[in-house]
Every structure is written in structure tokens, then in C-alpha cells.
Amino acid sequence: MQSHQLKFSKTAHYYTIGTPTPKVKNLWICCHGYGQAANRFIYKFKEIENENTFIVAPEGLSRFYFGNTRHVGASWMTKSDRLTEIDDYCNWLDTIYDTFVPQLSPNIKITFFGFSQGVATIFRWIHARKRPCNHIIAWAGMIPEDISYLDMSNYWDNKTIIRVIGTSDEYLTPERLQSDNDFIKSQKIEAKLVQFEGKHVIDRPTLREVAKQLIVT
């Protein structure tokens, strides 16, 4: 048996809140977690909707039935042919970035937001493509430890990096969180930790408080 690959066009999906115009001062690119669908994920961000902010939630390229409810979710990647999948979603996120950034204010403030699997997604994209941004929010997920970020010190300059974790997150045990803390320090990444009372979710009051620190009105 021989393995082969072919490149071909694929229809990808994304959902938005707001209208992209030159008056928009804030762009949030928000990556969902494993098994989520972007059209439901984006509703969390209604909490921070305002006329100066444009929010876009791209969906992972692999859709599937999730759980026993026949709910359709999506994934960003698996361990099977992982490098190709990473390259594919980096191309997809590049397309989102290049489509909307030129439509917005020249002084646009850009936030990359990842939830759960979306955290690894945005950090792999950042590492591979180093697209300019101002803020990075890593919510309920771990930064990929199979990548070295030590040669990216210039990229991290003047960026706000916030990690948000629920105190009862069933996936981020104290041991995993400590491992993540140790890795971040070893990579010389300066990140603020915000915790809330809750599980593996986007807590809306906490999202509002975090957004207040970043959004230009």
C-alpha cells in the first residue's frame, strides 16, 4: 500500500458579529474547542458586542457527529497526518486574517482568542506564521509543548497574553496546569493568569471583564 496526497479546494465556514468597516477599532479572531461548532461558539461573544468591534469565529476544517445527540461539531486537527492538518488550518486562518484586516481601521487592535483545543490552534498558527496582533487570550487550554518559542522574543514584545482557567476545570488538573506554567516560564513568555469559579467553559462575566482591558472604544 502507498499513501498519497492531493491538494484541492474546500469550502470552509466562519461566523461573525458586527460589520467590517474602516471605523472598526477591534478585531477578535476566535477559535473554538474540540467538538464545537463555530455558529454556536460565537454566541458567547455577544457579551462583548459593540459598534467598534468585529468578531469572527472560523470553524475547524473537520466536521463530524459528536456524542450521542447527532450534534455536528468540528476539530482543528488530529494526530493522524498532523503536520498537513496544521498547515491546512494555518492557511485557513491566514485567509481569515487577510480577508478582514484590510477592511478595518489602519490602527486596528487584534486579539487572537482560543478556547480549549483552540488554544493550541492559535499558538501553532502564531508559531508558524507570526501574524501581527496585540492581544492573545488562551482560555481553558494548554500551550503546545512540542514547539520552542525561544526564538520569538521580538514577537512577544508589546503583546498582552492572558490565560483564563476555571478553578474546577475537569481537563486542566493541578498537575497539567503546573506543567503549563513551567513550560511558559521556560519559554520566557510573559502571561497573566485569570481564574474564575467554574468548569471547562467560557464564563461570560469573566469574558466581559477580560475584554474591558483590551477593547478600544
d(CA 122, CA 131) in angstroms, rounded, equals 10
Check residue 161 and give its pLDDT.
97
Model pLDDT, residue 150: 94
pLDDT tens digit string along 160-184? 999 999 999 999 988 999 999 999 9
Q: Which helix (H) or strand (E) holds 73?
A: strand 71-75
Average pLDDT over residues 40-66: 95
**Whether the predicted pLDDT of 67 surpasses 80:** no
Question: Per-residue pLDDT tens for 86-126?
Answer: 999 999 999 999 999 999 999 999 999 999 999 999 999 99
Task: Give the separation between CA 124 and CA 118, rounded to whole angstroms.
Answer: 10
Q: What is the pTM of this model?
A: 0.96
pLDDT (tens digit per residue) in 134-155: 999 999 999 999 999 999 999 9
**Tell me, what's the pLDDT at 33?**
97
Phi, psi of 121 (to 5 degrees): -60, -50
Looking at the domain that runs over 14-214, which CATH code has it been given? Answer: 3.40.50.1820
Closest CA relative to residue 75, chosen from 44, 86, 99: 86
